[in-house]
Amino acid sequence: MKRTTAAPSPFNGIHVGIIMDGNGRWAAARGLPRTAGHRAGVRTARQIVEAATRSPSVGTLTLYAFSADNWSRPTHEVGALMRLLRRSLAVESKRCLQNGVRLSIVGRRDRLPASLISAIHEAEAVTSLGRNLHLRVAIDYSARESIMQAATLAGGESLSRERFSHLLAQVNHDPFAIRDVDLLIRAGGEQRLSDFLLWECAYAEFYFTLFM
């Protein structure tokens, strides 16, 4: 991997991370298929992004959309999620452009379908000039794997926290240096990080709720 230096983030305001959990359970409680819960999750995510865009205090928003562990879900559910993510990027990137939101997808890309990778590249290019909010969506993301890759990339280099944050940004395809999370929210009732932003959440405040 080529060594590059991530740029300082131009987005002022706090960094909010959200683990969007419980979509499947939400659907099951209503007698609906799990995919209906995922579609409802997309609608909720849209409302969250719109609220963050209006807030003068939020500069960066990171949403946990698909973890590396999610590949173990049933094949039909994973396929439906990949299609939903691809369609959502096409629709939501237009909303992001209209509202000055820069969209970045963080996580691995080598295991994603080619059609989704293409949609990611297009969405990131279309929204690259947004300055009202930096929206980061984590897809095929694992914080522990990212930390291991960044440590390997360092190659024995003596690192500062800032330098390591730059390396984490590089392995996660993030154009900006990693920012600490100020507030971590998890829906669905669980009270754990589930391999999400472990480095960035060192000093975060946590808020757990049953449903968003």
Q: Name the residue ranges covered by the structural domains of the chain.
A: 14-208
**75 compared with 189, residue with greater pLDDT:** 75
C-alpha span between 54 and 59 (Å, rounded):
10
Can you state the percent helix, strand and coil of the chain, rounding each to 5? 45, 20, 35
* Active-site position among 70, 99, 180, 195: 70
C-alpha span between 194 and 161 (Å, rounded):
23
With 0-12 / 13-18 / 19 or more C-beta atoms within 10 angstroms meaning exposed / middle / buried, residue 119 is buried
Mean per-residue pLDDT of the chain:
91
**8 compared with 57, residue with greater pLDDT:** 57
- Residue 3: the pLDDT is 47
Read off the DSSP letter of residue 70.
Answer: G
User: Has 70 been annotated as catalytic?
Assistant: yes
Top-confidence range, 6-10, 91-95, 185-189: 91-95
Asked whether the beta carbons of 38 and 81 are under 8 A apart, the reply is yes
* Active-site position among 21, 140, 174, 182: 21
Quick one: average pLDDT of 130-147?
Answer: 97
- Residue 38: the pLDDT is 81
- Residue 211: the pLDDT is 60
Yes or no: domain 14-208 corresponds to CATH 3.40.1180.10 = yes
Angle CA 27–114–174, to nearest 5: 80
Asked whether the beta carbons of 131 and 144 are under 8 A apart, the reply is no
Quick one: average pLDDT of 124-139?
Answer: 97
